[in-house]
Chains A and B, each alone.
Chain A
């Protein structure tokens, strides 16, 4: 049985003789329910309310609202009471619909602001992560997800909080499945009026760190090569003299075989040293860093092997 059929049934002629206003009350009840159903939409509600006002006012005896009038017939008063009851409910629902409309407007504004914020965050090349007070990720832009991988995993925010003090900046070395080892510069900043929550700015400095390390390595290498050049030059002069004397001794054909043997050893060793100096000088001259590093590693490896 529909609501309308039920109301019609209980407000039939028989019950009307017992309760004279029952039909009107049922009608009011029905209108009220109809208004409630429409109260989600202010315009729809007002259209229905205005229609109902129009209907009730046209049925209301004109003089009933006139204080000077003698028309106080029970039927007129009953109609006026019903109008007032309807109007009271209608205005309450109108105010509710107005509040709902305002809420919708604000909600829409909030959604638009959120969309704008998402757009701004998406456009940033730096990673932005918003953390709630309990460390859960509320929002992370595309750059942060690209850089950090699974930022929603609890391990990340825990590592962040363990590694960098609240409100401070610092570097973090991470291993991200997509990129391997990365170094990031992290800035933690509290969000005003939102206790415990914070915004985290994450910048990839992996390349910057690698570049800095490479720069230091090249500077060290340049120093080593400069030292090698100086040493080569300084060794070469006494070595030339040593080699010259050894060759003179060999040319004189001294009778003492031990002297001749010693002169041959000195000459051979001097030649080997001269060859080594020439090779080192060539390496320095041509800037063969790899060869220098290989040479520099040799004694350490030999030392390790010896150990």
Chain B
């Protein structure tokens, strides 16, 4: 569901690999695997570039991994957010809650 890389200890990069949608169909699996991937990270970058569609289940996944990172004092940033997904985030103002950047290098710290 995610391509996970760790360039340095404590730093994790996740790239969505579950198709072009993050929705009811794959949200549960995406959530479980993402939470496992970032569990030991102090810094995480989540690449959403492949995601063209997201529904409330998909949003729940993003909220869950953001919450998990925060709870451990880790920093989590999203990048590669496509316009359709960004529009949804903007509607419910999550774009102003999450850390989102257009720059993958910046997101990866």
Interface residues of chain A, those whose CB is within 8 Å of chain B, are 46-47, 49-51, 53-54, 57-58, 60-66, 83-84, 87-88, 90-91, 94-95
Contact = CB atoms under 8 A, between A and B. Distances in A.
Contacts of A50: 63, 66-67, 70, 97
Contacts, number: 60
A54 B94 CA distance: 11
B97 A57 contact: no
Query: Which 9 residue pairs across A and B have the least CB separation, nearest first?
Result: A87-B93, A60-B56, A91-B96, A62-B55, A91-B93, A57-B60, A62-B24, A50-B67, A87-B92
B53 A66 contact: yes
B97 A91 contact: yes
Interface in B29-84: 53-57, 59-60, 63-64, 66-67, 70
A126 B60 CA distance: 65
Interface of B: 23-24, 53-57, 59-60, 63-64, 66-67, 70, 88, 91-94, 96-97
Contacts of B70: 46-47, 50
B93 A54 contact: no
Contact of B91 (A49, A84, A90, A94): A84
Contacts of B59: 57, 65
Nearest to B95: A91
B57 to A, nearest CB: 5
B48 to A, nearest CB: 15
30 contacts: A49-B97, A50-B63, A50-B67, A53-B63, A53-B97, A54-B60, A54-B63, A54-B64, A54-B67, A57-B59, A57-B60, A57-B63, A58-B56, A58-B60, A63-B55, A64-B56, A65-B55, A65-B56, A65-B59, A65-B91, A84-B91, A84-B92, A84-B93, A87-B92, A87-B93, A87-B94, A88-B93, A90-B97, A91-B97, A94-B96
